[in-house]
Amino acid sequence: MRLLIFAIFILLLGFCTPPSDKKITEVRTSFSDSLLQKIYDLQDRLQTDSIIPYFRHADPSYRYAAALAFGSVRDSAAVDSLALLLKDDIEKVRVAAAYSIGQIGAVKGQAALVQAFDQTDTAGLWDHANAAILEAIGKCGNAQHLEYLSTIKTYQPKDTALLEGQAYGIFRFSQRNITSPQGTEAMFGFLSNPAYPHSVRLIASYYLLRGKDLDLKARVSELAKIMQQENDPLVRMNLPIPLGRTKDPIALGALLSQYNLESNMQAKANVIRALSNFDYAAVKPIISGALNASDYHLSRTAAQFFLDFGKPEEAGFYLAKAKDTLHWEVQMLLYSAANRHLSDSLIYMKDAVNQELRQRFEKSANPYEKAAALRALGEFGWNYRYLKQVGFPATEEVIRTAAMESILKAVKVADFRRYFGRSYRRVRQEISNYCVEAIKNGDVGMSAVAAEILREPDLLFKGTLTSLDFLPAAMAKMSLPRDIETYNELKKTLDFLQDKTDTKPSKPDYNHPIDWSLAESIQQGALANIKTAKGVIALELWPDYAPATVANFVSLARSGFYDNKVFHRVVSNFVVQAGCPRGDGYGSLDYSIRSELPYLHYDQPGMVGMASAGNHTECTQFFITHVPTFHLDGNYTIFGRVTSGMEIVGKIEVGDRIEKIEIQENNIQ
């Protein structure tokens, strides 16, 4: 009997004892999980107070998602709470916390990051967390932290993550205009040693490309040698511009030689840009020859050189080349160069240039060529009346916006009063009237540029205005969030004219819930094919990193929104951009989505990102990068990359159209 009672007791004890807690160590990204959806929805609504409690959740998936939310929301009130996660048991959570503290950029994040860096981790258990901390310090640290970061000598070439963190950190300091000889020395050490990982050498080369006021004079010969011997075109293309900034004769010789030997067109284009630092006569032969290059970007870069750095005595040459059989964009840039640099005393020649441009404008059927003709006309300020006459009534938005941008050029001449002489008051009043008319008409592209004109500080446009009532009236007519960019331009101008100095841009309120039924059905790596007349660009979509953005993109593509939309912006060695319903960059739809900024980098060509007019203003416009563009990291949503068709991306020109974007449905669950 006692044995029976004992057995029953043991049995009951088994039922009553709770199962042992099994620690969860895996970070999952599954958007069928309602709790993950809730965290993302809170992020989408910017309800940060409601996100912080998830920092204490037992499941690291939720701690990770909650911590990462602040990389996009950037609420400094979360820094102290995020600091606790820097010692989380799960490395991905530590990484997310470090990244978000860096994104927030608050000074108080410095101490938490430094304290959390694990110097005792000789086994490399926390390499990625330590690397994230090093990069984050570059976003919020001070000059003393830069010195510490720059003098780390213990990392070996095999320590890829830590070296990347160190290099990114030094680069992030440079983005904040904090540089030092030690930082430059460290980056040069990475670049000059082929034993270091490619990713680290690429970051170092980009630091030299983008860094301001770097002293490289003692490194000219070494830098030239690295450029000449470098096999990786992504690294090599970043080196001509910093070499050119030295203005050293050795650099000039190396660049001229490199141009003739270079096979990569992007690197050749950067050589042309670098040559702007040297004697015009010495570099003109190479650059004038590049005007006839078969590569669209190279010939356009050469024409841009003559616009930016041309000489008055060479204006006849630019005009003659503009009449050659060249791409229309190259021709328009050369016409612009002739119009800008031609002496005003040569009035007959000036008249001939502008008459030819007017004829080009009137005869062309291409709205982008017509817009370029207006910009070329804008190089001669006295064309302001003609620009208004033909631009304001144009049916194409891109032409109307270009007309205002060209009038802006007239305002920005070196000395407005001297340029227009005794007529300057009358001209200023006329341009002021044009701006008021454009703003009252409500065209968002024209209004944004007109608002910028009225803020020109030296021209005192306030004295030309009888009332400022037209500005708040125009703002009231803006459709938000669609017209948020123009609304903020008008607000900035109103504040400027009212002598207010604390202008802060308005941000859209929450207005577009995430379509979770669609987001959770899209697999990581799902494919989207952008069909153009020049070929197909295949994109791999990343819903795990940017679920709301991917769902929005897929929805727009399925609806046919992108059909026949133009690539309205093409910047050589940077991006191609599309998705504007107006075709001038000021278009959107009647909603906006939030920025999604996880810990990713624009570290390769073909990254796909969302264009914006500031955080949380995204909607339809997207871009594809030509090259690595690290300065965009953490500011523009990355939602995919090109998997094939980069050669097509390189051929895209302004005005080319998307025929259709097809989503491969076998990648949608």
Helix/strand/coil (H, E, C) string of 194-214? CCCCHHHHHHHHHHHHHCCCC
Instruction: For residues 480 and 591, give the distance between their C-alpha atoms in angstroms, rounded to a whole number.
Output: 8
What pTM value is reported for the model?
Answer: 0.95
Which CATH number goes with the domain that contains 646? Answer: 2.40.100.10
Residues near 424 by Cβ (< 8 Å), separated by ≥ 6?
A: 416, 417
**pLDDT of the residue at 428:** 97
Residue count of the chain, please give it.
669
* Same domain, residue pair 343 and 419: no
Range of the domain at 310: 303-379
The structure tokens 């990475």 sit at 190
> Residue 391: CB partners within 8 Å, gap ≥ 6?
374, 399, 400, 402, 403, 404, 406
pLDDT in tens, 205-246: 999 999 999 999 999 999 999 999 999 999 999 999 999 999
Calculate the dihedral angle through the C-alpha atoms of 130, 136, 137, 143, rounding to the nearest 10 degrees.
140
Taking only the tens place, the pLDDT of each residue in 519-572 is: 999 999 999 999 999 999 999 999 999 999 999 999 999 999 999 999 999 999
DSSP assignment letter at 509: P
Q: What is the pLDDT of residues 389-444, one digit of tens each?
A: 999 999 999 999 999 999 999 999 989 999 999 999 999 999 999 999 999 999 99
**Scanning the structure block, which residue is given the tokens 């969302």?**
610
Mean pLDDT of the chain: 95
Residue 343 sits in the same domain as residue 404: no
CA gap 341, 308 in Å, rounded? 10
Q: Is the pLDDT of residue 20 over 70?
A: no
Asked if the bond preceding 481 is cis, omega within 30° of 0, the reply is: yes
- Let me know whether 427 and 557 are in one domain: no
Between 34-44 and 547-559, two packed helices, what is the crossing angle to 10 degrees? Answer: 90
Detail the DSSP E strand segments found in 209-353: none
Over 70: is that where the pLDDT of 4 sits? no
Report the percent of the chain where pLDDT is more than 70: 96
In a domain, 338, yes or no: yes
Same domain assignment for residues 370 and 497: no
Q: What is the DSSP letter of 618?
A: B
Average of pLDDT values for 248-258? 97
Segment 167-179 shows an average pLDDT of 98
Rounded Cα–Cα distance for residues 236 and 320 (Å): 34
- Kindly tell me if the per-residue pLDDT of 11 is higher than 60: no
- Given a cut of 60, whether residue 94 has pLDDT beyond it is yes
493 with 530, same domain: the answer is: no
Considering the domain architecture, whether residues 373 and 396 belong to the same structural domain is answered as no
Asked whether residue 632 falls in the same domain as residue 586, the answer is yes
pLDDT category of residue 497 using cuts at 50, 70 and 90: very high
| Statement to judge: residues 452 and 367 lie in one domain | no
Of the three residues 345, 379, 413, the one that is the final residue of a domain is: 379
Residue 189 phi, psi dihedral angles, 5° rounding: -65, -40
State both tokens at 425. 């008051």
Do 561 and 468 share a structural domain?
no
* CA–CA dist 390, 399 (Å, integer): 9
Establish if 216 belongs to a structural domain.
no
- Residue 58 counted as domain residue: no
Last residue of a domain, which of 506, 537, 555? 506
Residue 495, in any domain of the structure? yes
pLDDT at position 669 = 62
Q: Which of 506, 530, 550 is the last residue of a domain?
A: 506
Phi and psi at 566, nearest 5°, equal -95, 155
Residue 388 has pLDDT above 60, yes or no: yes
Looking up tokens 């690595």 gives 628
* Distance separating alpha carbons of residues 528 and 209, to the nearest angstrom: 33
Is residue 196 situated within a structural domain?
Answer: no
Beta bridge partners of 663: 528
- pLDDT of res. 160: 97
For 155, phi and psi rounded to 5 degrees? -80, 135
Q: Same domain, yes or no, for 538 and 583? A: yes
Residues 641 and 572 in one domain: yes
Token digits of residue 307? 């616009």
Continuous H helices in 455-497: 470-477, 484-497
pLDDT grade for 10, boundaries at 50, 70 and 90: very low
Residue 160 belongs to a domain? no
Tokens of 123: 């086994």
On the question of pLDDT at 353 being above 80, the answer is yes
Q: How many domains does the chain have?
A: 3
- pLDDT band, very low/low/confident/very high, at 665 (cuts 50, 70, 90): confident
**Domain presence at residue 181:** no
| pLDDT above 90 as % of the chain | 93
DSSP assignments along 329-370, one per residue: HHHHHHHHHHHHHS-TT-HHHHHHHHHHHHHHHHH---HHHH
Q: Shortest CA distance to 329 belongs to which of 583, 534, 611, 569?
A: 569
> And the tokens for 112?
């938490």
pLDDT of residue 121: 87
Q: Are residues 651 and 635 in the same domain?
A: yes
256 exposure class (CB count in 10 Å sphere: 0-12, 13-18, 19+): middle
Cα dist from 345 to 71, 342, 628, whole Å:
56, 8, 45
Alpha-carbon gap, residue 596 to 599, rounded angstroms? 10
Distance CA 258, CA 564 (A): 40
Q: 3-state SS string over 15-83?
A: HHCCCCCCCCCCCCCCCCCHHHHHHHHHHHCCCHHHHHHHHHCCCHHHHHHHHHHHHHHCCHHHHHHHH
| Domain-embedded: residue 463 | yes
Please report the pLDDT score of residue 30 as a whole number. Answer: 86
